[in-house]
Amino acid sequence: MTQYDVAIIGSGPGGYVAAIRCAQLGMKTAIIEKYSTLGGTCLNVGCIPSKALLDSSHHYEDAVKHFEDHGIEIPGEIKINLEKMIARKQAVVDQTCAGVKFLMDKNKIEVYEGIGSFKDATHINIKKNDGKTETIEAKNIIIATGSKPSNLPFIKLDKERVITSTEALKLKEIPKHLIVIGGGVIGLELGQVYKRLGAEVTVIEYMDRIIPGMDGALSKELLKVMKKQKVKFNLSHKVKSVEAKGKEVIVIAEDKKGEEITFKGDYCLVSVGRKPYTDGLNIEASGVKLEKNGTIAVNDHLQTNISNIYALGDVVRGAMLAHKAEEEGTFVAEILAGQKPHIDYNLIPGVVYTWPEVAAVGKTEEELTEAGVSYKVGQFPMRALGRARASMDLDGFVKILADKETDEVLGVHMIGARMADLIAEAVTAMEFRASAEDISRMSHAHPTFAEAVKEAALAATDNRALHV
Ligand SMILES: Cc1cc2nc3c(=O)[nH]c(=O)nc-3n(C[C@H](O)[C@H](O)[C@H](O)COP(=O)(O)OP(=O)(O)OC[C@H]3O[C@@H](n4cnc5c(N)ncnc54)[C@H](O)[C@@H]3O)c2cc1C
C-alpha cells in the first residue's frame, strides 16, 4: 500500500493549491479526483467557463450596440454562432484544467482518478472508473470536496428545461425566455450572458434586493443598470412551483401581497445557492463531524474533530469562493508544515462579473450600522472620470467607508468597469490598514478607472473630491 504524508480528496482550487503548497514544503502528496479533469467546480463548471461566456457575450453586445458609436461599421448582420461560442469556452476550460495537471506533475504530486472514501482516519479507498479499488495510507488527509448546486425541495431539475448553472454553461440554443430563480451572483452573471445574446430574461428573487449580502448601494445600482439593460426583476417573490411541459416551463410565484403570478418561459435556471458536498466520502468511517447545515465542522486551523483530518473550501463555513478556497489550501499546508499562517476572512473580496462589474471588500454600511461603528462615507461616480467617458462605461461608483475617528478604511464597495481587478487595490490598502487619507495621497495614473478610488478616498477624508 502506498503511503503519503498527505492525501487530498478533491482537486478544486482549494484541493489543488493545498497539494502544490504541501509538495513545495517537502511532503509526499497525493490528490484524488473523481472526474477525469482536475480543477473542480471552478475550472470545469464555475468561474472559468462563466467568465468565458461573459466575455464572448460582452463582445457580441459591444459589436451590436456600441461599435457604431465608435465609428466602426460592420456591413451585414452580426450573428451569433452559439455552438462555436460554447466550443471556445470549452477550449478555455480544457486548457486551464490541463494546466493543473501540468502543475501536479511538475510538483511530483500523485494524481488518483476515482471516488475517494474513508476506510478509516488514515486510509482512503479509491474506487476507480474501471471498477477496481485501491487503498492508500496518509498521515494527514485534507477534505476539499467542494459544493453542488442547491435546489428548492419542490423543484424537479430535469436538466433539460429546468437547469442549474452547469447546464446553463452548455445550452444548445439561446432561450427565448429564460426565467432565473435567484438574484445572486450566479443567476445574474448567467442571466446577463443570455440577455446579451437575445433572450428575454426574468429574475425572480425571494428577498427585496439582488446580490443580498453585499452593500445595499451596490444592489440598488446593479438593479438600476440591469433594468436599463431590460432584464426584468421580480423582488420579494416566493417561488411556489416550477413545472416543465414539453418546451415550456411554468413558474408560479407569490408576490408580497400573497397574489400568485405565473411566468412562462422555455428555460428556467435555478440558482438558489450551493450546498457543501460530502456524498460518497463515507465520512462516518473517519469519525469526522458535520455541522447541521452539512458543512464539515472545523476549528480555526481548519482541523476537524479528528486531529489528522483537515477540511477547506466550499465544504467548510464561509464564503463559497475560489480564492477563499485557495487561501485555505495554502493555510492548511503551512499548518501541516508547522508554520503559523493567517487568513483575514474580512479581507476576502467578493466580485460579481456582470457589466458593470461589482466588487467589494471589508464591511458593508449595513454591517457597520448594526455593529454600532461610527463611520464616514466617501463616494465618487464613474461618470466623472475621463477614462470612463472614453470607453463609454459611465455607470457605477466607488464608495469607501472609513472609521470616523481614526480614518482607517473599513470597507470598499465598487461598481463599474473593471472593478473585479480594481478591488485588489482596496484589499492591499486594507491589509496594510491604510486610512482614507493614505489612499488619497497616493498617485493614481491618469486616465484610469482607479482614479475613482483616489477620489472616493478624498471624499471620505475631508469631503474634498476634486472632480465632482
Ligand atoms: C457558475 C459558477 C460561477 C462561479 N464563479 C466564481 C467566480 O467567478 N469567482 C469565485 O471566486 N468563485 C466562483 N464560483 C465558486 C467556485 O467555483 C467555488 O467556490 C470553488 O470551486 C470552491 O473550490 P473547492 O476547492 O472548495 O471545491 P470544488 O471546486 O467544488 O472542487 C471539489 C472537487 O472535489 C471532487 N470530489 C468531491 N467528492 C469527491 C470524492 N469523494 N472523491 C474524489 N473527488 C471528489 C469534485 O469532483 C470536485 O472536482 C462559481 C461557481 C459557479 C457554480
Bridge partners of residue 4, in order along the sequence: 138
Q: Is 165 in the pocket of ligand 1 (CB under 6 A)?
A: yes
pLDDT for the residue 468: 85
Q: Please report whether residue 244 resides in a domain.
A: yes
Return the ligand 1 atom nearest residue 319 CA: 19
Q: Please report whether residue 465 resides in a domain.
A: no
- Residue 241 cell numbers, joined: 412551483
How many CB atoms within 10 Å of residue 187?
Answer: 26
- The answer for residues whose C-beta is within 8 angstroms of residue 58's C-beta and 6 or more apart is 196, 355
Nearest to 45 by CA among 231, 271, 282: 271
- How is 115-180 classified by DSSP, letter by letter? EEEEEETTEEEEE-TTS-EEEEEEEEEEE---EEE---TT----SSSEE-HHHHTT-SS--SEEEE
Compute CA distances 139 → 136, 278, 280, 306, whole Å: 10, 21, 21, 12
One domain for residues 266 and 388? no
Residue to mutate (ligand 1; options 145, 324, 332; most atoms within 8 A of CB): 145
Residue to mutate (ligand 1; options 42, 113, 423; most atoms within 8 A of CB): 42
One domain for residues 137 and 15? yes
One domain for residues 136 and 20? yes
Instruction: Please state whether 206 falls in left (phi above 0), alpha (psi between -120 and 50) or beta.
Output: alpha
Which of 272, 305, 320 finishes a domain? 272
Q: Which CATH number does the domain housing residue 243 bear?
A: 3.50.50.60
- Residue 466 cell numbers, joined: 476634486
Q: Please report whether residue 211 resides in a domain.
A: yes
Is residue 123 flagged as an active site residue?
no
One domain for residues 96 and 182? no
- The answer for residues whose C-beta is within 8 angstroms of residue 48's C-beta and 6 or more apart is 39, 42, 92, 93, 96
Q: Is 296 in the pocket of ligand 1 (CB under 6 A)?
A: no
Q: Which residue has the least CA distance to atom 6 on ligand 1?
A: 47
One domain for residues 20 and 136? yes
Q: Is 12 in the pocket of ligand 1 (CB under 6 A)?
A: yes
pLDDT for the residue 205: 98
Amino acid at 229: Q
Which of 318, 343, 368 finishes a domain? 343
pLDDT for the residue 233: 98
C-alpha atoms less than 13 angstroms from C-alpha of 106 in its C-beta half-sphere: 10
Which structural domain range is residue 235 located in?
162-272
Q: Is 450 in the pocket of ligand 1 (CB under 6 A)?
A: no
Number of domains forming the structure of the chain: 3
pLDDT for the residue 308: 98
51 labeled part of a ligand binding site: yes
Distance between Cα 222 and ligand 1 center (Å): 26
Q: Which long-range contacts (CB under 8 A, 24 or more apart) does 185-189 make?
A: 185/211, 185/352, 186/50, 186/271, 187/269, 187/271, 188/222, 188/226, 188/352, 188/354, 189/50, 189/54, 189/352, 189/353, 189/354
pLDDT for the residue 376: 97
Distance between Cα 272 and ligand 1 center (Å): 16
Which of 298, 318, 343 finishes a domain? 343
The alpha carbons of the chain give a radius of gyration, in whole angstroms, of: 24
One domain for residues 379 and 432? yes
Q: Which CATH number does the domain housing residue 414 bear?
A: 3.30.390.30
- Residue 313 cell numbers, joined: 473550501
Bridge partners of residue 374, in order along the sequence: none
Q: Please report whether residue 83 resides in a domain.
A: yes
pLDDT per residue of the chain (468 residues) written in tens, 0 to 9: 999 999 999 999 999 999 999 999 999 999 999 999 999 999 999 999 999 999 999 999 999 999 999 999 999 999 999 999 999 999 999 999 999 999 999 999 999 999 999 999 999 999 998 899 999 999 999 999 999 999 999 999 999 999 999 999 999 999 999 999 999 999 999 999 999 999 999 999 999 999 999 999 999 999 999 999 999 999 999 999 999 999 999 999 999 999 999 999 999 999 999 999 999 999 999 999 999 999 999 999 999 999 999 999 999 999 999 999 999 999 999 999 999 999 999 999 999 999 999 999 999 999 999 999 999 999 999 999 999 999 999 999 999 999 999 999 999 999 999 999 999 999 999 999 999 999 999 999 999 999 999 999 999 998 888 888
